[in-house]
Amino acid sequence: MKYSDPKTVALLFNEHINNQNLENLVSLMTEDHTFISASEKVERGRKIMKEGWGEFFRLYPDYRNIFSRVQSKDDIVVMLGHSECSEEILDGPAIWTAVIKDGHVQEWRVYDDTEENREKLGIT
């Protein structure tokens, strides 16, 4: 099923992360999907990200993202919240952005929740 609302696509993508549903997660990625971590490590391509998320789910089976605020403008969705995980480095506040193209996630990015990043992303 194809969704046209960017916010719906981003929230569904995150739901697939939280449920560790790899096939559905991959189905929402564009072929040129890009993931950018909070440390600014960049991974590109649906195939690479399928392998990456599969390994991530294996290593961190209790990882979840919880959003307290979601806003969108055009095809960009900004999500504010926190992640929960027994791995301390993955547990805590964060900001996510999703760039949506034709009902798919072209870019999924994680930011540290800092005042600088909030300002840059227009979070007040």
Note the pTM of the prediction, 2 decimals: 0.94
Tell me the domain boundaries of the chain: 6-120
What is the tens place of the pLDDT at every residue in 25-37? 999 999 999 999 9
Residue type, 115: E
What is the tens place of the pLDDT at every residue in 63-95? 999 999 999 999 999 999 999 999 999 999 999
Angstrom distance (rounded) from CA 67 to CA 69:
6
**How large is the average pLDDT for residues 112-119?**
97
For 13, 54, 56, 93, the CA distances from 82, given in Å and listed in that order, are 16, 21, 17, 4
Average pLDDT score, the chain: 96
Pick one of 3.90.1300.10, 3.10.28.10, 3.40.630.70, 3.10.450.50 as the CATH number of 6-120.
3.10.450.50
**How large is the average pLDDT for residues 91-119?**
98
DSSP lists the bridge partners of residue 113 as none
